[in-house]
Amino acid sequence: MLWSFVTSGLAIYFLLCMLIYLQSKQKSFLYYGLYNFFLLTYVFTKTPFHIEEIVKPFANSTFASYNWFSQVIYNSMLFMFYRAFLDMKVHFPKFDKLLHRFLIIQVSIASVLFAYTIITGNHSIFNTYFFFVFIPSMSVFVIYAIYISLKIPNKLGYFIVVGVILYNFFAYYSLYDSLAHASGTEPLNFFYIGIILESIVFILGLGYKVKLIYDEKMNAQQRIIKEQRENQLLRENHQKELEKELAEKVGELKNALQKSEDEKLNSLRLSFENEISLLKLESLRSQMNPHFIFNALNSIKVYLIENDKEKAVYYLNKFSKLIRKILESSRTDSISLEEELEIIELYMSIENIRFDQKIDFSINRNDVNIASIKVPALILQPFIENALWHGLMLREGEKIITIEVSQENNTTKLSITDNGIGRKRAQENVAKKSYKRESLGLQFTNERISHFNQKNLSNYQFTFIDLYDENNNAVGTRVEFVL
């Protein structure tokens, strides 16, 4: 009855863990499922039924060493479960690497010895290896695993400590009793009891870990929702301020039209038009920023779905820095080229997520003093976005975007070069779409540069250059700025 209960439980645990792993991709369930499977194959060889027909012939066959080989495998899978369950790669990377190598070596040696015993029939060599190499070395790792488990900050280590102590106590006592016959009962009964207690503890631990993962995911979602709401509130308040300022300026103009002479009226009209242009610029920028933020959030979302905590936190930190840079830049009419390139680097590091980090992005500053050059904030982002989604998206193979800054006399030149499909083919692809959305990025950019030139008495401009190879095939696009 005890054997039947244990084998049924192991089979159910194996199937349940495999189903959960296929849904969640959590390696804790994979390794625990494999541990239950190999332990089940070991327990099958100890069946109390049909002993004369199954057990004794198996013990005298060329596969008799599977008794020890299966123990090496399921104990190794159990330690792989410990690694994944406790996130040792995060908390104890050196020990995790050492343990991983140790398990690979042990499984490799056991596999070679098992094959050797099948071929030669000499099972004593596997017995010697199991008792005098595997058991002592594994015991050392068990003791150290218990020690470091108590240092895990999220209390998962307590499940490992209790499960390991219960399982190893009964397992070692079963081994001792099988050799010394001290208890007068079947030694495997103690082993079965250890399996049952250990399984109960670890299943509870897996449930607790799932709860921790779920709580962490919900907290991350709540933080993102909170940031979105705060950004929306900032945009709404900014829009209200713009509308209020516009209404005030309109009122001032009406009063000036009624009271001022023609010369003063003309002067006020020019001032008003300048203010309107500035307000329009602010309005355009307030429309562009949500689009910018939406793209970045979409890029990060995949890691939250896949529950990749490290990458999600890493890119959320970059995203928060990007948001801070955008908000800081929105307070002024212009920023330095150095700040603009920092924003673009942050933007590309996030956009590159959706391209599986396949975009080769680089900036060559060529010792130009870019901190002293003023440009409209976020002026380069629309061109980078066009290069990504219209130039590189449909390109096979290597994808490259390069920004290069150079100095010629008193003129600074900046170029953005991609090796995409070219503007002509990109326009053909857009023309084929049944739904065509008007792109406002370049229109906004032209208006912003025009306002910047008017205000600063400068002559900033940009041009597109289509790149072709010797066979007149499109090999990319370059945008050249003269600053």
CA distance 367 to 358: 27
In this prediction the pTM is 0.43
Q: Please tell me the distance from the alpha carbon of residue 80 to that of residue 101, in angstroms, as a whole number.
A: 11
- H or E segment to which residue 304 belongs: helix 262-306
* Residue 401, token pair as written in the block: 């975007």
Token pair of 452 as six digits: 């910047």
Shortest CA distance to 481 belongs to which of 460, 466, 465, 459?
A: 460
Please, are residues 399 and 360 in contact by the beta-carbon 8 Å criterion? yes
Q: Which two tokens stand for residue 181?
A: 């016959």
| Three-class SS of 7-45 | HHHHHHHHHHHHHHHHHHCCHHHHHHHHHHHHHHHHHHC
pLDDT tens per residue, range 144-166: 877 877 777 777 777 777 877 88
Tokens of 419: 């090796």
Given a contact cutoff of 8 angstroms between Cβ atoms, the answer to whether 293 and 327 are in contact is: no
Q: Any bridge partners for residue 402, and if so which?
A: 362, 417
| Sign of the torsion formed by the C-alpha atoms of 223, 224, 230 and 233 | negative
Interior angle at CA 199, CA 195 and CA 200, nearest 5: 120
Q: What are phi and psi of 393, to 5 degrees?
A: -55, -45
Rounded Cα distance between 47 and 37, Å, is 16
Q: What is the predicted pLDDT for the residue at 299?
A: 67
Pairing outcome for strands 399-408 and 411-418 = antiparallel
Instruction: Summarize pLDDT for 175-192 with one digit per residue, the tens.
Output: 777 777 666 667 777 777
For residue 39, give the nearest of 80, 1, 69 by alpha carbon: 69
Q: Is 80 helix (H, G, I), strand (E, B) or coil?
A: helix
| Total count of residues recorded for the chain | 483
- Strand 399-408, strand 359-364: pairing: parallel
Residue 17: Cβ-neighbour burial (10 angstroms; 0-12, 13-18, 19+): buried
Residue 288 is predicted with a pLDDT of 47
Nearest one of 444, 354, 364, 446 to 392, comparing CA atoms: 354
SS3 378: coil
Nearest 5°: the CA angle 204, 206, 211 is: 95
3-class SS at 276? helix
What are the pLDDT tens digits along the chain (483 aa)? 888 888 888 898 889 888 888 887 888 889 888 988 998 888 887 777 766 666 566 666 778 888 889 889 988 998 898 888 888 888 888 888 998 999 999 999 999 998 998 888 888 888 888 888 888 888 888 888 778 777 777 777 777 778 778 877 877 787 777 777 666 667 777 777 878 888 788 778 777 777 777 777 788 788 888 888 888 888 888 888 888 888 888 888 887 777 766 677 666 665 665 565 555 555 545 544 565 567 667 767 767 777 777 777 888 888 888 888 877 777 777 899 999 999 999 888 888 877 778 899 999 999 899 999 999 888 898 899 889 888 888 888 899 999 999 998 888 999 999 999 998 888 888 777 654 554 566 777 888 888 888 888 889 999 999 999 899 989 999 999 999
How far apart are alpha carbons 327 and 343 in whole angstroms? 11
**What number of other Cβ atoms are within 10 A of residue 68's Cβ?**
23
The pLDDT, as a whole number, for residue 12 is 86
Contact 401, 416 (CB under 8 A): yes
